[in-house]
Chains A and B, each alone.
Chain A
């Protein structure tokens, strides 16, 4: 089987590697790039844990092949914290018990991030829809919803202060 050269930007840094066509982007990120924040739960699009941004658009990395990401810019959960400081969204998860085991958290964070980039003031219903494709086996979702709503408030506060 032929190998494909893949060169992409990951969280702002260049990365070059090689992969078989069948290598899933989720595995490429975890095994080749070595970033294990992106979690793999189901490998069929159902759990959302593997969600990353490709060129700013949230996608399931388990339903994308690494070769398809050649030339793109990818952001994973590791891109959210800056200089070791949690982002307001991550802080809100911390403060509102938005995670227990943490398995679903990277996907929840990316999907919430995608929502908040587009909608600065989401309703609870909009938050629930935004994470409707993400499974969590621990929290019962309630605290995740509270966390995202709290993050929206924090970001609004920061925007007003600026």
Chain B
């Protein structure tokens, strides 16, 4: 189908984007890569009065290392992240997550800020925001504020972003030395949205004891699922197959996936265990130097 009518304005700076949003009123929307918003417009699932295009806001397109964190501008394209040597070196979990997103031509346009603001329950980037307790910087009419996932994600496709606010930066704390990572997922075809996916990051000390485990699952609830209990089971322990299986079991009991035509609730629940186990084992193998 064709999109409904709207007015179009392009911003060149964040400040201008915020003031254009204010001028346009509460029914305006930001247009970033358009890879989620334009399909919704074409299906007329949304009817914004205005689109404020931020594609020319080049000040939001960067990847930098800053104070032990990886700071990424909201307009940075998924393809730029995928190809970034800095990301691959410092936070390879982000590279691996990116490779799961759609296809080259989708990643050429799609942005990290758009993905996180869109908050699809099966999207990869929100999982990493949750897993690493990333800081999100948001600019609005009254200046800027910083938040984290527990305040940001509200429910399916819904965040705490207010009408005139722009997500500007995401800051991911870098994994500590001795860490391994994995992003594994179950999808019908490569590039499709995940039915179930799991991101894992484990940090081991020299004696083979787990100092920290972080897990985030997608496709099993309104936004990525973090499990303090499963993480606590792993912390301070040797990561045996038995313990990993128990952590997977714990998570499968916690999650509340909705079933759809592609996968039932029961199936997603069962797969949340399987994919937690696979993610943890793969992450562990990467700490030990294997790949």
Complex Cα distance, B1 from A24, in Å, reads 10
A60 partner, pick from B1, B6, B109, beta carbons under 8 A: B109
Contact A133 B106 (CB under 8 A): yes
The answer, yes or no, to whether A91 is at the interface (CB within 8 Å) is no
A45 partner, pick from B1, B51, B53, B106, beta carbons under 8 A: B106
Complex Cα distance, B109 from A132, in Å, reads 16
Complex Cα distance, B7 from A59, in Å, reads 23
B1 / chain A contacts, CB cutoff of 8 Å: 43
Interface residues of A in 97-132 (CB under 8 A from B): 111, 114-115, 129-130, 132
B3 / chain A contacts, CB cutoff of 8 Å: 22, 24
Complex Cα distance, B102 from A4, in Å, reads 31
Closest chain-A Cβ to B253's Cβ sits at a distance in Å of: 35
Contact A21 B7 (CB under 8 A): yes
With A1-B7, A60-B109, A130-B104 known to touch, is A44 a contact of B190 (CB < 8 Å)?
Answer: no
- Residue with the greatest number of chain A CB neighbours at <10 A, chosen from B1, B2, B105: B105
A130 / chain B contacts, CB cutoff of 8 Å: 104
Contact B39 A22 (CB under 8 A): no
Contact B190 A22 (CB under 8 A): no
Contact A44 B7 (CB under 8 A): no
Closest chain-B Cβ to A51's Cβ sits at a distance in Å of: 6
The answer, yes or no, to whether B8 is at the interface (CB within 8 Å) is yes
Closest chain-A Cβ to B57's Cβ sits at a distance in Å of: 13
Stretch at the interface among A61-69, A73-81, A82-90, A151-159: A61-69
A133 / chain B contacts, CB cutoff of 8 Å: 102-106, 191
The answer, yes or no, to whether B108 is at the interface (CB within 8 Å) is yes
Complex Cα distance, B102 from A114, in Å, reads 16
Q: Which residue of B lies closest to A46 (CB)?
A: B39
Q: Which residue of A lies closest to B8 (CB)?
A: A21
Complex Cα distance, B1 from A57, in Å, reads 25
Q: Which label, helix, strand, loop or mixed, suits the secondary structure of the B interface?
A: loop
Pairs across A and B, CB under 8 Å, 28 listed: A1-B5, A20-B5, A21-B5, A21-B8, A22-B5, A22-B6, A43-B1, A43-B42, A44-B42, A45-B38, A45-B106, A48-B103, A59-B109, A60-B105, A63-B35, A63-B38, A64-B34, A64-B38, A65-B34, A67-B8, A129-B103, A130-B104, A132-B103, A132-B190, A133-B102, A133-B103, A133-B104, A133-B191
B108 / chain A contacts, CB cutoff of 8 Å: 57-59
B41 / chain A contacts, CB cutoff of 8 Å: 22
Complex Cα distance, B105 from A114, in Å, reads 9
Contact B7 A62 (CB under 8 A): no
A1 / chain B contacts, CB cutoff of 8 Å: 5, 7
The answer, yes or no, to whether B189 is at the interface (CB within 8 Å) is yes
Contact B2 A58 (CB under 8 A): no
Closest chain-B Cβ to A64's Cβ sits at a distance in Å of: 6
The answer, yes or no, to whether B156 is at the interface (CB within 8 Å) is no
B34 / chain A contacts, CB cutoff of 8 Å: 63-65, 68
**Number of contacts between A and B (CB, 8 Å)?**
83
A2 partner, pick from B7, B35, B42, B189, beta carbons under 8 A: B7
Contact A111 B4 (CB under 8 A): no
Contact B43 A44 (CB under 8 A): yes
Contact B190 A129 (CB under 8 A): yes
Q: Which residue of B lies closest to A21 (CB)?
A: B8
Closest chain-B Cβ to A126's Cβ sits at a distance in Å of: 11
Contact B51 A58 (CB under 8 A): no
B39 / chain A contacts, CB cutoff of 8 Å: 43-45, 63
Q: Which residue of B lies closest to A60 (CB)?
A: B105
Contact A58 B105 (CB under 8 A): yes
Closest chain-B Cβ to A144's Cβ sits at a distance in Å of: 15
Q: Which residue of B lies closest to A63 (CB)?
A: B38
Contact string against A for B residues 33-53, beta-carbon threshold 8 Å, 1 for contact and 0 otherwise: 011001101110000000101
Contact A68 B191 (CB under 8 A): no
The answer, yes or no, to whether B272 is at the interface (CB within 8 Å) is no
A4 / chain B contacts, CB cutoff of 8 Å: 8
A129 / chain B contacts, CB cutoff of 8 Å: 103-104, 190
The answer, yes or no, to whether B55 is at the interface (CB within 8 Å) is yes
Complex Cα distance, B41 from A114, in Å, reads 27
Interface residues of B in 20-78 (CB under 8 A from A): 34-35, 38-39, 41-43, 51, 53, 55
B8 / chain A contacts, CB cutoff of 8 Å: 4, 21, 65, 67
